[in-house]
Structure 1
Amino acid sequence: MAARTPLPHNLRRGLTAFSGAFFTTNKTWDSMHEVLASLPLQVMLYFNVCYFPCWCLAEGTMLQLKYDLLPRYYQLLLLAAFLILTMAEGTRLYLGYIGNLQEKVPELAGFLLLSILIQLPLLLFLLTDHLTIRLPLELAVHSLLLAFLICEVVAAFLALRAMSRQLAAQFYLRQFKVGSQGDAAGHDPPH
């Protein structure tokens, strides 16, 4: 999501064209294309990718330490939660990277859905259920992962909103362009 600046439009366009010509090696780059990828989301995803192996190691170790102390149904429940969180987190981070960097709406929407429907309830369960033996390290690693998750959901929602608005505007401009070409050729515009 690009931030709006108080600079005049002409000055901003000139600076964008200059920086595009000076700093990019691809000379076919469209200087009028506004980059919609969210830098805050990308930074959070990067740190989350770095943190994820530490979370897996800590959670796996804590699960192993308390496994025999839990009732059988909680053993299965916590093991399933750990496996689902691990698989969903890898998929979620991949979709976040692809959706944000390549400005793909479906992938970013999938990232949001996985975050809200799978990751958030499971993390809240692990943090709040009093029958699971909550170790201090577990509380710390889950709280940090939850903080990443909430910040990423907010940033992804804002990026997704900007991307979908841009796609809608492009769609309407194409429709207008096709309609005006039909009028110029003496044909009726398609309905």
Structure 2
Amino acid sequence: MFTTLLLVFWLTASVAFLVLLTLMIIKISQNKKYKVFLFTSIATFIIGLICFIAMINVVPKEEASINSTRNTQPKVVTNSPNKKQESKVPREYIAALKTAESYKRSVPMSKKGLYEQLTSENGNKFPEAAAKYAMEHVTIDYKENAVKSAKSYAKNLHLSDAEILEQLQSENGEKYTPEEAKYGVEHMNDK
């Protein structure tokens, strides 16, 4: 959209410049002392025209590459119910499931942490039944989430392994199970 507006502006400015140049050529050709100025103006116009032609050729290619990037985004496959089953499931349950899937893609959480986020007054405020439905139908590798969380603590807060383990298991922290937290610390240096 912006590039289209830029092209329209450039085209309008070029036409206006061409009209002024034509008028100036007529006026200057009558007076010989302005020939250098005339030559400079013509050279500037030719350079501008070359830039305009280049811009016209580049913009469609950029827009095409942007559109092709949009069309190749990976699709997230979950074990969510199909459309026929969805109609029988309350809307709020489906919303809780979609929210859980969104968290799955963006924030590594423990099972308990995700459930609390879905039901919390400070979170999404879903009813417990809707959150339970979401938890039963979303597929998340909580051990892998523990690894991601451990890597984040190590990289951003520079914590020791013992501190990371404690933070991953803490009720005030990530709320991973002891097994998941241990797995996260053990594998946080894996590639």
Relative contact order, higher structure (CA 8 A, sep 6+): 1
State if a TM-score over 0.5 links the two structures.
no
State the structure with more CA Rg: 2
With the length of structure 2 as denominator, give the TM-score of the two structures: 0.28
